[in-house]
Structure 1
Amino acid sequence: MENQHHIHVSSEVGILKRLLIHSPDEGIGKVIPTKAQDWLFEDIIHVDTMRKKEYDLYLKILLYFLDYEKIHSQINTIDLPESQRHFYKPDKENYFESDKVIEPQRLLAHLLESKDLKQRMIASICAHEGTAYSLQAELMELDNSVLARVMISGILPDKRMIFPPIPNFIFTRDIGITVNDHILLNKPKKKARTRESIIMKYIFFNHPMFKEYTSNIIEINDPEDFFLLDEDEQEKKIVTIEGGDVMMVAPNHLLVGVSERTSIHAASKVIQLMHERDIVEKVTIVKIPAKRAYMHIDTTFTQVKRNMWVIFGSFSKEGLKQEKGDYISSLGGSKSENEIEILQYIKGRSYDDPIQFDYLEDLLNDISVTDLKSEEKTKFIYSGDNEFPHGRREQWTDSCNVLALKEGVVIGYDRNDKTSKGFQKQGIKVVKAAELLDKFKNEELHPSEVKDTLILLPSAELSRARGGSHCMSMPLLRTPLW
């Protein structure tokens, strides 16, 4: 029998067996225009549509692929109007609990059963949020499942809002990354995500699910003398890292992005720790422009199969060549606005002598051929099928951000029409999530029979949150590719 607490991820496309996801909570519905950007949202989300018509399908697709017997035996009950409203809410009676598709809110409620941990967590969060001291006693009286919801949404049962929401908690990829049998924790750049980090640190270090792995949890922190530096120096040396900038692409190879959210100093620490602990042999740094449109490297490329990737055309070989061809050096500056830098650090090789890749396709091809032993030609799908302006428009709505359920079967957004055509050109079938679920429900098709397929989620509201299926997942267990 498979150990339900086993944790191991050694690729981006091995069969997905277990992951953390957080369904959109009521806090997202409290984002107001004057605070949206502070809370890292670009727009106001209609929560009911996001949950019931979009995320609902994402969750059911995950459950069918990862926990088939359990979801299939209960799907008719779940789809009843009354149950449908609550099957994704951990604090409700009709919540569907899976040990394969795991909700952090549920883990948090379990953790709060310990009075000591409950007191410590309340104190930590209240201190971070700067609340009245008297509020802590009120929170201690709440039922544990209710308190877990309050800690995430910031909303008490009487509808008082005592904390800001943490609407980005749906992007569980950013809270941590499983690197072989280790967990690399995040250190967010934006204050709006700090409470997520506090909650997940308590879970990772204290929940029984991770008991065997506490010595394998890696924290990345600022230098010890960081607080002595003036503001300008702190800005230069700050250590921040988010999971969207980290990809476990092969058992021996970790990618780390340097971006708007992940600093070069954090990347440097990751290299050192990965090599010191002998976790991976190679760490490749992919430095992209620090712009909101890109945010993390997984908004610009993700993997579909061991020999297939979907990438943003402006960061491709042809895209960069075109920009460089139009560049007049005498006008000043040294790089085009989209230029990227790729440096690979290998254990035992001098850090002063990294391997350099000129183009993203060169790196991804090397991963496919050298690390993943692909004998087939490496193929690339481009955002918007590399047509202007669709490439940029669809990258903004996460065309390059897909989650692999297994090799060749990925989840994407339905609004990225041109990118979907690019998938079809490479032999990947395209199907709407609702249609696929109907086939599963009617037993016309079993998830194990699905091959080379892009599954499209409706995404009118999900895409407004600026994250795709890759962002909305933290894999804990994938089967090895060999």
Structure 2
Amino acid sequence: MINITSEIGVLKKVLLHRPGKEIENLIPEYLGRLLFDDIPYLEAARIEHDGFANILKENGVEVLYLQDLLVQSLSHKNITEGFLEKFIRESHITSKSLTYSLMDYLLSMDVQAMIEQLMAGVRRDEIHVKEPSSLIDILDNKYPFYLDPMPNLYFTRDPAAAIGNGLSINSMHRTARKRETLFIECIYNNHDLFSSEEIPLWYRRDIPYSVEGGDQLVLSNDVVAIGCSERTSAEAIEIMTQKLFKYNENFNRVLVFAIPSCRAFMHLDTVFTMVDYDKFTIHPGIEGPLNVYEIARGAREKLIFKSHTETLHNILKNALNLDYVELIRCGGGDAITAGREQWNDGSNTLAIAPGVVVTYNRNYVTNEILSKHGIKVLAIPSSELSRGRGGPRCMSMPLYRKDI
């Protein structure tokens, strides 16, 4: 069962991915291609991630792992073969000989090992193409992989998002992340977690307009905020809103925030996150006045579009029907501190209950300010995890929260 009607309701179930060998297939020459700025040390990153998972478990959260759900979903050979064929095709493998060689290589493994290999990538020196069938097979290609590694997988927030009682299986903007949603689609189609009941899809991965989970925030049981960013398009927002209004009677408003197309502000949740009923942590650069775009529910499935300019304080206050909201500035608003801690996702918190958040310990200035505003801060070690440019919210895909 899926139930996400806020950003702060008591978290009961979440999907994570423990970093794996895909991290060790990062090399300097191809960091940009794989959307990394640095190479985390895997052993330390795993210790940090385990600490993150343990904090969640200690606070009553059921932690599910992407790899486990995939293994359970690929229980029949025909499902596995169909999934592999699609994965290889979407890896832009055009050679028949290479396709057959990859299929043979991967199907020779048990399902657990096969999934680990897909995530880690397949190096050119790991298989031999026996009978070349195209020029591609014999060209002296210096690129070391047939199948690229998937190092962004530990940011489970982006490939899919639970909204209300349904799921958005997202269309990723960058090639490096597009195959991640194949994993979510496979689980949605084949795992009892989803197939045992009717769970609506708000978006499908094959729609050509990109949208990512870091841009999707559920502010309340009737208002969703979506960032219109480099990675989430206006077309996708409109398509998703239409579906959401049609099949979920509770939601009646979507607030669209236009955010800068830059690495530090890549998603809406790197700019602000909700930490309590009336409190948000924000990057000071977006306080406003802002252009905010509103999509409201109209009669007979018509969408009503509005735009206005407001401060972030007033936008959030009006959206939540509150007299006042507190905006807690990342780094206390100091330009140098805010810039540094924003780079390390100081505004990217994961609320596990109203007023209780998980953060990175390296953002100590912001953490102290949050504490002074009455927020209970559960800070986790983050020297290696933060090298991927994503915080605790990025690393988690909530599936069930208690209503508030």
TM-score, L = length of structure 1:
0.75
Say which of 120, 130, 134 aligns to 2:101: 134
Give unpaired runs (5+ residues) of structure 1.
Answer: 1-5, 68-99, 224-237, 321-339, 429-452
Q: Distance in 1 between matches of 2:33 and 2:25?
A: 13
Query: Structure 1: how far apart are the matches of 2:19 and 2:234?
Result: 31
Residue of structure 2 equivalent to 1:80: none
Q: CA deviation at 1:31?
A: 0.6
Pairing 1:326-475 to 2, within 5 Å after superposition: 340-348=290-298, 351=303, 353-354=305-306, 356-368=308-320, 370=321, 377-428=324-375, 453-475=376-398
Q: Which residue of 2 aligns with 1:148?
A: 115
Q: How far apart are 1:116 and its partner, in Å?
A: 1.1
Task: Give ranges in structure 2 of 5+ residues lacking alignment.
Answer: 128-144
Q: How does 1:25-40 map to 2 (within 5 A)?
A: 25-40=20-35
Q: Distance in 2 between matches of 1:64 and 1:215?
A: 29
Q: Kindly indicate whether residue 82 of structure 2 is the aligned counterpart of residue 120 of structure 1.
A: yes
Shift of 1:239: 0.7
Find the counterpart in structure 1 of residue 135 from structure 2.
none
Residues of 1 paired with 2:204 and 2:78: CA distance?
26
Distance 2:398 2:330 in 1: 24
1:444-464 CA distances to partner (integer Å, 9 max, x unpaired)?
xxxxxxxxx111112111111
SS in 1 for 2:316: helix
Equivalent residue of 2:346, what SS?
coil
Counterpart of 2:261 in structure 1 is 290
Contact in 2 for aligned 1:220/1:270 (Cα 8 Å): no
Counterpart among 283, 286, 292 of residue 315 in structure 1:
286
- Aligned pair in 2 of structure 1 residues 221, 47: CA closer, same or farther (>3 Å)? closer
The code of the aligned residue for 1:459 comes to S
Q: Is 1:10 the equivalent of 2:5?
A: yes
CA distance in 1 between partners of 2:122 and 2:63 (Å): 25
Q: CA deviation at 1:367?
A: 3.1
- 2:51 is the alignment partner of 1:51: no
Deviation at 1:353, TM superposition (A): 4.4
Q: CA deviation at 1:212?
A: 3.6
Counterpart of 1:255? 225
Alignment of 1:233-312 (within 5 A): 239-279=209-249, 280-312=251-283
Match in the other structure for 2:36: 41
Q: Report the residue type matching 2:243 in the other structure.
A: L
Q: Distance in 1 between matches of 2:198 and 2:268?
A: 28
Paired letter, 1:383 = C
Preserved contact between residue 220 and residue 269 of structure 1 (Cα < 8 Å): no
State how many pairs are aligned.
378
The answer to whether the aligner puts 1:175 opposite 2:159 as a matched pair is: yes
SS in 1 for 2:338: helix
Question: In the aligned structure 2, how far is the partner of 1:222 from the partner of 1:124?
Answer: 12
Assess if the C-alpha contact under 8 Å between 1:221 and 1:239 holds in 2. no
- 1:50 aligned counterpart, secondary structure: helix
Question: 1:51, CA displacement in angstroms?
Answer: 1.2
In the alignment, the residues of structure 2 paired with residue 422 and residue 179 of structure 1 have an alpha-carbon distance, to the nearest angstrom, of 30
User: CA 1:476–1:32 in structure 2 vs 1: closer, same or farther (change >3 Å)?
Assistant: same
- Structure 2 distance, partners of 1:116, 1:175, is 24
In structure 2, distance between residues paired with 1:315 and 1:48? 36
- Name 2:131's counterpart in structure 1: none
Q: CA deviation at 1:155?
A: 4.9
Amino acid at match of 1:413: Y
Cα separation, 2, equivalents of 1:168 and 1:471 = 10
Q: Does 1:476 align with 2:399?
A: yes
Pick from 55, 64, 80 the counterpart of residue 61 of structure 1.
55
Q: Secondary structure at the match of 1:345?
A: strand
Please state how far the C-alpha of 1:278 moved relative to its aligned partner. Answer: 3.5
Q: 1:352 to 1:284 in 2, by over 3 A?
A: same
Q: TM-score if structure 2 supplies the norm length?
A: 0.88
Q: How far did 1:421 drift?
A: 2.8
Alpha carbons 2:296, 2:305 under 8 Å: kept? no
Tell me if the contact between 2:70 and 2:187 (Cα under 8 Å) persists in the aligned partners. yes
> Which amino acid counterpart does residue 211 of structure 2 have in structure 1?
I
- Determine the C-alpha separation between the residues in 2 that align with 1:43 and 1:211: 38
**1:105 corresponds to 2:88:** no
Q: Percent identity?
A: 30
